[in-house]
Structure 1
Amino acid sequence: MPRLLYKMLFVRPVLDTTDNGRVLDEDRLFEPYAGKTIGEIAIAREQVFSPDGNWFERTGNNVHVLTRDRVIRRDLLFRPGDKVDPQILVRNKQLLRSRAYISDAELEIVPDPLDTAIVNIVVHTRDSWTISADAGFHSEGRTMFSVYDANILGTGNKLSVKTHFDRNDFGYGGNIVEYEIPNLLGTFYTAAFSAGRDFYNSELKLGLGKEFIKPTDYEVGASYEEVKEKYYLVDRDTSELGKIHAVDIWGGRSKYIAPIRSSVYVTGRYSRAHFSLRPQVGPEYNPAFHNTDNLLFGVGLYREKFYSANLVYGYGTREYLATGYNAELVGGYSWGEFDELMYLGAGLKAGSFRPLGYVMGGISFGSYIDLSTGAWRRSAVDIDLRWFSNLFVFRRNRIRQFLSLNYTQGWNRYSGSEEVLRFTRENGLRSLREDVTGINRAVLNTETVFFTPYQPLGFRIALFGFADFGLLGYHANPFRNEFFASFGIGMRIKNERLIFNAIQLELGFAVGKRGWLDSRYVRVSNQTRMEQYRYLPTRPEIVGFR
């Protein structure tokens, strides 16, 4: 009986690839077939769990609707008659793996027995369990509960329904419905819709767009948003309602240049933001709430190549990590209700695997320019450095070290909302609760993760410890600004076959020059997967300052 119970609870996923932690260049696996003609393409789909798994897994397979054959075929970047391109095949594996309803994908090349110039391809996929629920607890008693399915009837489409209520008196706060089609009719366009209300907040969002996928490709998209929500005004330490009507239209084209193994690209974007309800504004006050029309253009060079690894941002299945670079110049014009300004910006980011792990660095700079006076307005620079180590083995544990450094500084900023910096979820100290502001911020985050061998019901358990350090204030020299630090430990559990996020328990505290600070001593959350760096061009952006 104890052995039977152990086998039910502690299972080793079939797709676990954590034994070696090697980084693989999968292009080389396909290079012997480069240039051959693709013949037949077959799809081999597998259920979420192993058919000989425990009772929970077998029941899940019986309830789950398998992703349809045509849905997977629509996501293929190659067709019968195409020539085998190793980089396109690896890119396609990454694309399939990025779908919420696919937990793993493999491409098997089978030489044709009658013609050596032809190869057939078998696309192996394994589904994810895509039905889940979520909850959120907010201030003023506001509570959210949602249910969603990211693969409705095997179509790959996602439907989410969020219900809001007051947990103090169970008063009804409204519903928000979201629907997303990740690949509309095989065009690689993503269509998204959401509408509803959340107490005093409401939204209507429509979007349709296609991103760059191949080295020679195009992007195009449009979105409309009508959103009413409360905005936190940091300078007044209060919140006020605002309602924005926003239109965004963008497009771009890229061309692969073989001699430099890179793609050149051009992009353009028009955006319009007008408020029908907003906080007080002035010529140099609360520019985030100014009515504006912006026209931006971008030009640049980029290269992107994928390598596979595991136990980086995931919990055991194969992950595809991008290496490469992107160098971009951005320019444009802004027509505001109080002024008209030119905008200039530039950005560079690059990343690769080195002997000691993965290193990525990026820098972006941007500023508005008043052409009538030549004065620079609302300038900002953002520097981002990230590193994670190779995978270390300690007995049965797998260990990886993460480090990130972010530096943001502003000049000639206006006053009001979004004109000062704070510690944020992306660039901040995890256990610090105090609200601090400035125009110069430096944050160093370190984390050590222990991936344990324990997997109850297929959930991998990871333990972690962190140390965060920050400098924030109004002095140009960051080392003369106020110092903060937070330390802690925690645990995450995640089953890669299930769509919901990792469950995280975190214990920590924060200190500073003034001693012990207001801290989040205990926090339970559903951690989203960390965003992986990509080097593909996107629509032109204003350098962020937040």
Structure 2
Amino acid sequence: MYVRFCIILLLLSAAASASFARVAGPGMRSPKRTVPDTVRTHTPDRFTPDSARIANPRAAARNARLYDSIRSKTERRRVPHLLYKMLFVRPVLDTTSNGRVTDESLLLAPYAGKTIGDITIERRQVFDNGGNWLERTSNKLHYLTRDRVIRRDLLFGPGDRFDPQLVVRNKQLLRSRSYIADVDIAVLPDSLDTTRVNLLITTRDSWTISADGALHSEGRTMVGLSDANILGTGNSLKFMTNFSRSDFSYGGNMFEYEIPNLLGTFYTAEFAAGRDFYNSTLELGMRKEFLKRTDYELGLTYSDNKAKRYMIETDTSLLVKERNLDAWGGYSHYLPGIRSSLYLTGRYNYRRFSRRPPVRADYNPALHDQDVLLLGTGLYRERFYTANMIYGFGAREYLASGYKAEAVGGYSWGEFDDAMYLGLSFEAGGFRTMGYIMGGFTLGSYIDLASGMWRRSAVDIDLRWFSNLFMVRRSRIRQFLAFNYTQGWNRLQGNDESIRFTHVNGLQALKEHITGTNRMILNTETVIFTPYQPLGFRIALFGFADFGLLGYSPNIFKNEFYTSFGLGVRLRNERLVFNTIQIRLGLALGKPGLVESDFFRISNSTRLEQYRYRPTRPEIVGFE
């Protein structure tokens, strides 16, 4: 048996060095307003997504033969077969076989205006039937999402007119649910009525039970257990308990519960309560966002929290107790002539502090008691496109193309003084010939009614771009660029009156504590999707270089300069239970040379971003 087991190991090693699968396919194509070739070639009775197409059948067949050989050899002995079942799972659809950007609404355009007939739901378990013992056990423990839960998330029903963009928006909504891993909506023309189409909606569940843990400062430790799909209802529950690492003393429990679509009204209901040593939480709320082009939003939340708040200027955390009531609403109406929606929103916020650091009229304004009334109006347009190999690493992604222009005005009744507020924002983006590009700015300021002076002003400019997938020899490469410029003037002193490098707008490998009122950042990253797939592993190499300026000088180029750079690797195998590993090395430099750096990081996830142009409740522009 020992000899045969060694032979199996040698076969695995040989396969790892000799069987590399090449992933081929066209680069990203810029969507156009004309119907693409895929509409002419797909069958009229079934919509087939890009993920179902295989770019390199020979490579797929070669990998299949390899795994069939490994499975047949390990089935002869119990121990090797047990190891095989532990390490390998059944493959899923390869969603990275092409870099094509697809406008699914154009693929569905031939059915526009027809009447929706029967809607059939097909629900699938997390894993396919007939998998290994771990898959079968997981399916037995998992409650399949109920039929009514999926139906209540539909934005259309029998008798409605078929709207391609609304169907694509609904797919994006369903995929945003944490309990749904994938969804497909197939259009089936009615054989007896040419003006009617039936829909077949196929969903696959996600594994939603998870454990969590965290090591906090001062010896505090948290362990938690959560289920994002309780008994298949789509509701989520999370329970966390806290204790001290030094003496294992009890620190309290935290409880969170969420209903993502209450009784099919598209209102999200949330509740959280508990304590964590000196922190305590009581939060409850209900909200609905814009979903259709003509729609409304409404929300009401109340919170009573006590927690340590990070003070940027002093690089320390202090205890703050705050009560907050937030109410907002809005309405949007679609204007066919300009293919955009006109919207109006309003918001009232009540905030009171019962415990806080010292405050004055010009100190710690973020901790002042105040009432704020805001009104916003603007135009927006949003259209979703399907792509892959962007921010996810294998999953199909939805990115929006469109714009949003908004003006916000309001009044603040403050603890020390009253003020008016004015703000403007604009953002736009979409797929172009050279890739995806988006840009936007926000500008906001208070106006002192007594003096007429502008104060606590801030402007933020964002530009983001990533290239099409392009080929270099046998590898796919995508380039990312991000630029951010933030400036404040007439700022006061204290909490939130200065900025720093953050996780979103910062340098990846920098751990230095720096503050200022002016900040400029350029982030670059190159991702190489290699063609090699030893034992089914996808390998992506990436390198990054970040450059930043931060300080208090109005001239941004007179502030302190920092840079960080590094490289890493991402490994993914759809057949492995733990399918993604990311390893990153980094180094940060400043004017004096080497500064405090995040040298090494390993994780099991990759970054994920999504661009949206849908309006939300009015916000005040400020610092993070």
Partner of 2:162: 84
Q: Which amino acid aligns with 2:423?
A: G
2:497 pairs with 1:426: no
Moved more, 175-184 or 256-265: 175-184
For residues 224 and 212 of structure 2, the distance between their equivalents in structure 1, rounded to whole angstroms, comes to: 5
Q: Which amino acid aligns with 1:87?
A: Q
1:212 deviates by 0.2
Superposed CA deviations along residues 51-70 of structure 1, whole A, max 9, x for unmatched, are 24444333322322111100
Partner of 2:35: none
For residues 375 and 480 of structure 1, the distance between their equivalents in structure 2, rounded to whole angstroms, comes to: 27
For residues 502 and 369 of structure 1, the distance between their equivalents in structure 2, rounded to whole angstroms, comes to: 50
2:568 pairs with 1:490: yes
For residues 167 and 492 of structure 1, the distance between their equivalents in structure 2, rounded to whole angstroms, comes to: 33
Superposed CA deviations along residues 349-372 of structure 1, whole A, max 9, x for unmatched, are 000001121101010000000122
Superposed CA deviations along residues 132-183 of structure 1, whole A, max 9, x for unmatched, are 1222222222222222111111111111112222223333222211111111
For residues 148 and 252 of structure 1, the distance between their equivalents in structure 2, rounded to whole angstroms, comes to: 33
1:455 deviates by 8.1
3-state DSSP of counterpart to 1:259: coil
2:607 pairs with 1:512: no
Q: For residues 18-417 of structure 1, what are the structure 2 equivalents within 5 Å?
A: 18-393=96-471, 398-417=476-495
Q: Which amino acid aligns with 2:313?
A: D
For residues 330 and 154 of structure 2, the distance between their equivalents in structure 1, rounded to whole angstroms, comes to: 22
Q: Which amino acid aligns with 1:440?
A: N
Moved more, 102-111 or 485-494: 485-494
Moved more, 260-269 or 172-181: 172-181
Superposed CA deviations along residues 261-286 of structure 1, whole A, max 9, x for unmatched, are 00000000000110000000000100
8 Å contact 1:132–1:500 — kept in the other structure?
A: no
Moved more, 303-312 or 4-13: 4-13
8 Å contact 1:128–1:499 — kept in the other structure?
A: no
1:408 deviates by 0.5
8 Å contact 1:468–1:486 — kept in the other structure?
A: yes
8 Å contact 2:312–2:500 — kept in the other structure?
A: no
8 Å contact 1:378–1:410 — kept in the other structure?
A: yes
1:33 deviates by 0.8
Q: Which amino acid aligns with 2:400?
A: A
Partner of 1:532: 610
1:451 deviates by 4.3
8 Å contact 2:315–2:513 — kept in the other structure?
A: no
Partner of 1:436: 514
Which structure shows the higher helix fraction? 2
1:442 deviates by 0.7
TM-score by length of 2: 0.83
Alpha-carbon spacing, 1:12–1:486, altered in 2? closer, same or farther (3 Å): farther
For residues 334 and 282 of structure 1, the distance between their equivalents in structure 2, rounded to whole angstroms, comes to: 17
Superposed CA deviations along residues 402-425 of structure 1, whole A, max 9, x for unmatched, are 221111000100000110111111
Moved more, 25-34 or 258-267: 25-34
Superposed CA deviations along residues 277-335 of structure 1, whole A, max 9, x for unmatched, are 00000001000100010000000000000000012222212211111000000000000
Which structure shows the higher strand fraction? 1
For residues 504 and 357 of structure 1, the distance between their equivalents in structure 2, rounded to whole angstroms, comes to: 25
For residues 90 and 432 of structure 1, the distance between their equivalents in structure 2, rounded to whole angstroms, comes to: 40
8 Å contact 2:464–2:483 — kept in the other structure?
A: yes
Aligned sequence identity (%): 66
Alpha-carbon spacing, 1:236–1:131, altered in 2? closer, same or farther (3 Å): same
1:470 deviates by 0.6
Q: Which amino acid aligns with 2:449?
A: L
**Which structure has the greater CA radius of gyration?**
2
TM-score by length of 1: 0.95
8 Å contact 2:446–2:455 — kept in the other structure?
A: yes
Moved more, 428-437 or 534-543: 428-437
3-state DSSP of counterpart to 2:495: coil
For residues 410 and 181 of structure 1, the distance between their equivalents in structure 2, rounded to whole angstroms, comes to: 39
For residues 416 and 110 of structure 1, the distance between their equivalents in structure 2, rounded to whole angstroms, comes to: 62
Superposed CA deviations along residues 3-40 of structure 1, whole A, max 9, x for unmatched, are 12797545674232211110001011211111110110
Q: Which amino acid aligns with 1:375?
A: M
3-state DSSP of counterpart to 2:108: helix
For residues 189 and 297 of structure 1, the distance between their equivalents in structure 2, rounded to whole angstroms, comes to: 22
Q: Which amino acid aligns with 1:179?
A: Y
3-state DSSP of counterpart to 2:151: helix
Moved more, 486-495 or 288-297: 486-495
For residues 545 and 393 of structure 1, the distance between their equivalents in structure 2, rounded to whole angstroms, comes to: 40
3-state DSSP of counterpart to 2:154: coil
8 Å contact 1:397–1:453 — kept in the other structure?
A: yes
8 Å contact 2:372–2:413 — kept in the other structure?
A: yes
8 Å contact 1:15–1:317 — kept in the other structure?
A: no
How many aligned positions are there? 546
1:385 deviates by 0.9
For residues 60 and 461 of structure 1, the distance between their equivalents in structure 2, rounded to whole angstroms, comes to: 28
8 Å contact 2:461–2:486 — kept in the other structure?
A: yes
Partner of 1:544: 622
3-state DSSP of counterpart to 1:260: coil
3-state DSSP of counterpart to 2:487: strand
For residues 248 and 523 of structure 1, the distance between their equivalents in structure 2, rounded to whole angstroms, comes to: 38
2:547 pairs with 1:469: yes
For residues 596 and 214 of structure 2, the distance between their equivalents in structure 1, rounded to whole angstroms, comes to: 22
8 Å contact 2:126–2:205 — kept in the other structure?
A: yes
Alpha-carbon spacing, 1:251–1:496, altered in 2? closer, same or farther (3 Å): farther
3-state DSSP of counterpart to 2:402: strand
3-state DSSP of counterpart to 2:543: strand
